[in-house]
Amino acid sequence: MVMTSFRKTKAYENVLDKLKNYIKENELQPGDRLPSERELVDQLQVSRSSIREGLRAIELLGLIETKTGEGTFLRSYQSYRTLSLLAMFIFQDPNTKIDILEVKRLIEKEALKMAFASDRLGVVEQWEEIAQVKNGQTISKHRAFYQVVFQSAKNDLLEKMWRLMDEFVETFHVQQYSDRFYLKVKNVFVQDHYQEIEKIFETAEG
Amino acid sequence: MVMTSFRKTKAYENVLDKLKNYIKENELQPGDRLPSERELVDQLQVSRSSIREGLRAIELLGLIETKTGEGTFLRSYQSYRTLSLLAMFIFQDPNTKIDILEVKRLIEKEALKMAFASDRLGVVEQWEEIAQVKNGQTISKHRAFYQVVFQSAKNDLLEKMWRLMDEFVETFHVQQYSDRFYLKVKNVFVQDHYQEIEKIFETAEG
DNA sequence: GCATTCCATTGGTCTGACCACTCAACCACT
DNA sequence: AGTGGTTGAGTGGTCAGACCAATGGAATGC
């Protein structure tokens, strides 16, 4: 008996494949609406159950968003729920925790360098606005700080990756951000000392 | 009208929560079997459709594996699968192509620095072995080169991210890797000039 | 012009049905 | 006792159809 280990593709996997192509062909952007579930039934010739299995799967991934009465929409990132779910499994390997922290830190450093090169003084200006307005939680201060950075770094992918990791880290690690760190970074920017960025990150702080 | 932005949790999300607890309480290990879909219907008091939406979602994530006629089984987590899923959609955005190239280059640079700090001479040694053995295509030479790097950089996440980008870049961009580049990097390693790594990447080459 | 009502559309959920596959218990034959 | 085939219960895979709640725009009334 020949055992051609041939895995029959499931209906919902086909749905995802078709959906991916649909998004590509129509060049859908985050926020754009996907066809309704019932329209997809007609177009893909599978039952609504299968359609929904596929949609729920990528919803969990945070790739789409559904609104009752309106429809299904593409979105760009975010899904704290999934991350906390994955966290449980990912930490079967304790090393990944360290890896994530390391990569996140690396991204922060490089993003700062990119922002520095792109719009050094503009960044400083925005940081000062934040410092005046925001007296809120340290976590939102932290995000506001880097939002400015990524806006000037002009690399959406890098920002998406950072946000994922930042949210993920939040699931297992109480992040502490010292005001000293922000101040140090700002001074480096003000004084136009590009090389110092590397050195700041060589210390344990961050 | 008060708009308490209150998101009603969906049935399949509850399923996942309960399932997570079940796994935790019973200390299920990869390979262990979960309750059948029909059993879960009884236990969780939701319809089989909702059960399946949840199961299909975490199946896509690679957390479980289903075998027709047998059941649903816990699976050892495969982070690459999750990452490639996310990448599949994130990379879809045509605007990110340039971003990907930039981030990939950034990762290569930082990985080199990590490898340098970790095992400078060991890396050089392995590079020389490659140079002798491999006379094959430039693409495989390129991958072998960085495989050595990542092995010493000791960060799996970084390597996986790089692999995804490298594979993706191949689909739209003819990668050119000049022997001169490798040689330059090797020399920097041999001569123990850590600072030069940054400078190599400041040129257009790569 | 504006507020209200109404209704088609959309996602959310459930029920019940049928199929293909797996595995173990059972049975018949040697 | 051992072999091999049959059978049936259980499992995931898929489907059709139904009802609900929320949404938003069109029709309506003032």
Q: Residue A65, CB, less than 7 Å from strand C?
A: no
Q: How high is the pLDDT of residue A84? A: 58
**Extended beta strands in A64-175, E state:** 64-67, 71-74
B99/A157 Cβ within 8 A: yes
Q: Which one of A61, A106, A155 has the shortest CB-CB distance to B102?
A: A155
Q: Give the tens place of pLDDT for each residue, A22-52.
A: 988 898 888 999 999 999 999 999 999 999 9
Q: Give the tens place of pLDDT for each residue, A141-178.
A: 888 999 999 999 999 889 888 888 888 788 777 666 77
- Residue in A139, A150, A190 with CA at minimum distance from that of residue B103: A150
- ipTM of the complex, rounded to two decimals: 0.76
* Distance between CA atoms of residues B87 and B27, nearest Å: 31
* Distance between CA atoms of residues A157 and B99, nearest Å: 6
* Distance between CA atoms of residues A65 and A70, nearest Å: 11
**H or E element, residue B71:** strand B71-74
Confidence of residue B173 (pLDDT cuts 50, 70, 90): confident
A103/B24 Cβ within 8 A: no
Q: Which nucleotide is nearest to A48 (CA to C1')?
A: D15
Q: Which one of A24, A155, A158 has the shortest CB-CB distance to B92?
A: A24
Nearest Cα of chain A lies from the Cα of B49 at a distance, in angstroms, of: 7
Q: What are phi and psi of A68, to 5 degrees?
A: -55, 135
CA A68 to C1' C11, whole Å: 4
Q: Residue A48, CB, less than 7 Å from strand D?
A: yes
Mean pLDDT (whole number) for B102-117:
96
For a pLDDT cut of 70, what percent of chain A falls above it?
A: 82
Q: How high is the pLDDT of residue B88? A: 72
Q: How high is the pLDDT of residue A2? A: 43
Give ∠ CA B66-B51-B38 in degrees, rounded to 5. Answer: 75
Q: Give the tens place of pLDDT for each residue, A187-205.
A: 999 999 999 999 998 876 6
Q: Which two tokens stand for residue B191?
A: 């001569």
The answer to whether A74 and A64 have CB atoms below 8 angstroms apart is: yes
The answer to whether A164 and A83 have CB atoms below 8 angstroms apart is: yes
Q: What are phi and psi of A137, to 5 degrees?
A: -65, 155
Residues in chain A: 206
Give ∠ CA A156-A160-A162 in degrees, rounded to 5. Answer: 115
Share the mean pLDDT of chain A.
85
B49/A52 Cβ within 8 A: yes
| Centroid of chain to Cα B101 | 16
A164/B161 Cβ within 8 A: no
Nearest Cα of chain B lies from the Cα of A70 at a distance, in angstroms, of: 15
Q: Residue A90, CB, less than 7 Å from strand D?
A: no
Measure Cα distances from A75 to A65, A119, B32, B141 in Å. Answer: 7, 28, 35, 38
The mean-pLDDT minimum among B14-18, B77-81, B191-195 falls in B77-81
Q: What is the DSSP string of B158-187?
A: HHHHHHHHHHHHHTT------HHHHHHHHH
Residues of B with Cβ-Cβ distance to A96 under 8 angstroms:
79, 156-157
Q: Residue B70, CB, less than 7 Å from strand C?
A: yes
A156/B89 Cβ within 8 A: no
Q: Residue B11, CB, less than 7 Å from strand C?
A: yes
Residues contacting A82, CB < 8 A, separation 6+: A60, A61, A62, B61
